[in-house]
Structure 1
Amino acid sequence: MHDIKAIRENPEAFDAALARRGAAPMSSEILALDDARRAKIHAAETAQAEQNKASKSVGAAKAKGDEDEFQRLRALVGEKKAEVARLNDEAKVEDAKLTDLLMGLPNAPYDDVPQGEDEDDNVEIRKWGEPRSFDFKPVEHYELAAVKDGMDFETAAKLAGSRFVLLSGAVARLHRALAQFMIDTHVDENGLTETITPVLVREDMMYGTGQLPKFGEDSYQTKDGWWLIPTAEVTLTNIVNNMTVEERYLPRRYVADTQCFRSEAGSAGRDTAGMLRQHQFEKVEMVSVTHPDQSEAEHERMTKCAEGILEKLGLPYRTMVLCTGDMGFGARRTHDIEVWLPGQDTYREISSVSTCGDFQARRMNARFKPTEGGKPQFLHTLNGSGLAVGRCLIAVLENGQQEDGSVQLPEVLHPYMGGKTQITADGVLA
């Protein structure tokens, strides 16, 4: 959520930032609500002062025996009390209107974020690895003989409908191995704290990280009011919801492997074949909660953590800075990491790492107490995939495919696969 004080001080800069995100100028509407709210608060405070003054005079009038003045003052106290209650209620209404408006506005991009409308305007900042040259035409993951029996979309459709998959045998073990490898790497080498979180959350947690109010259709809600998390960003970031953290405990770095649930409401007809876009998927999520002075360095650090997973797996990738028109709602800057998929002959997103500044912290009322004293300040939050497990499975299968339909597994996964080095064309670990 945006800082109303900053909007008051420089409405032109606020509108310019929104314009970079393709949004209309909003400062006039916001400041009108803010003025109305502050006017109601001021009027309530004035009426409260008049009530207090009259209350003090009631006793004096009674002591003097001035019955007429006593009755007048008693009536005035009652009138002012009712006026204070009415004005406070009206101020709350204006405050709710202002909060709702601010909650629906996207974060302001950093100045160095490239201007653009969509993914075609994203900018590559680095690339790692060379795509493998094949002596045959590589196929997509779901076409491989090695996964024919272990990646079952028909049974999944019977169980749950489209955009689900049933994994079994060697493919299921490979999927599990990838998640375990990612968690081990992030904990043992990158210093993140392993965390197991709920996948059902209260509605205010979804507001805290920005999935609500605008994007409710992208997620699933139960009849009891809980929401299924679209990513562990929701749970990990909200650990500090409504907290004031001691500065010496920063940064806090978390990682969790969870099931994630997305309705994919805006992706009709996109990536319908295979596992690329599912309603339910597994993701290893990283979240950092930092001092504002640390968040820029932390963004690069988290990006390197995600890139490091791909490098250990030997998977070529490129890292992009998303343009203003392609960034997520809560981000100030996003790095997308795209892995090479030979079956599609292109790079596809496997991780987004975003720095949000104090945008989420304001929504969550999450602050830190400076070591040297002074008022508590809002924290900075960052999140990133480290990585999407299903998409990593796709990349391992496609990049390791052999002409006979078997798959050679990355060396780093061999210990997680019981020492096995391949999935044969018959779908058996060997």
Structure 2
Amino acid sequence: MSETTGFSTGAPLLSPEFQDMVDRCVELFKLDVVQGLAFAREPALASSRGIDGNPSKLGPIVAKRLTQLKPGGKRGRTAEATKIEAALSALYDSNVRSLARRYNVDVTAGKPVLAQVNKVQEFRFLERELSSEKRINSLHENLFDTRAELKSDDGADVETVMRRLAPNVNLDPTVMRMLADNIRPSIAVLPTGTIGGVVVPKPPIVVNKGLEFRIHQVKCVDETNPEWPGDDEIAMGAVAVADNGTTTKINEFMVRDDYDDGETKVYNPPRLLKSFSLSNVRYPADFLMVLALAEKDNGGMSDFLADLWEAIKDDVTVIIAAVSAAAGLAIGGAIGGTVGTAIGGPLGAIIGAVAGAIIGAIVGWIISALKDDIFTPQAAAVHLPNALSTFGGGSLTSPQFTVNYRDHGGHYRVYYSWKINR
């Protein structure tokens, strides 16, 4: 059996240790945002201190988003609210100043916030999680809550298929099962050949070639406030994260420009948001979609989301690498050599979940200050154990799942599914 699911960035099923990591990272990244906005607001500050450029990762991303926002919207965004000084004033409040004192961070320094913190000391509590493969695997499994089955193309379970094929190819059934569990497209379909003078037909195994993410409906459960005057104009954008960690922006599009309570936009056939190739996938493999809605978006929502994702994911990886290396774990060296690139397997999926949770919290924090119309992003994920995976009952299409968006006094629900192509 394997697992597939959509998990919400608002409440991923993380262990207490990784949830603690999320909470501390959110606090540090808040400091990073205000540091970056300060340097963007006063560029002379950097040059006067001999600093080469803005030390922050997230601040410039938020500043860029501000330039895309235009006055107006249902929340009465003024021209002043789109300026860096207004956002900085709103975000650098007593709580953030308290965080700076707690972590001993100077947000006017030319050193990045994360570099001012002893990462090993601050996140040492992760050692227990990272040192146990069993705990990592268990946590990974808990991220997915809907079970899918492993079936052959003719409906037989894998064990039956392996036993059926083993005599024909002169392989031990257990060895054949091991091959199936690590099946690659290059060896997935054994060629017709001759063994001991006997012609061996191609095994009846069809491997998965592609994976699609589709949207079925977007329902307005409750229109955003104020509900009068005017209807909601809802746009959607997304970031697709492949099994190897590479990201693709899904440019925003208008879902509907006249939403009222209870109204639904139905896509029939379903709207394809992303198609992943499975031709060179290293199994087991995880795929992630980070979805965002916005009321009357001004453009740039997908760029904003993708830039945040890359910056946060890389910093989460750096923290895990530092803790792992300090603890003498083999995983530390492996991660350290691939910072900024893909981290696969169960730990890669966990990093994705952590990054998604952080993005949800950070976006939720800044949307009120920026008076942005974005809803807190949500995520949907699927786990494929190998190239023979299907959903329940041997289906190539998953059931419909939902994610909910509750911001700005409104509530929207998105219905989606995954589809495997063979």
**TM value normalised by structure 1:** 0.29
Q: Going by fraction, where is strand more abundant, 1 or 2?
A: 2
- Report 1 or 2 for greater relative contact order, CA contacts < 8 Å, sequence distance ≥ 6: 2
**TM value normalised by structure 2:** 0.29
Larger-Rg structure = 1
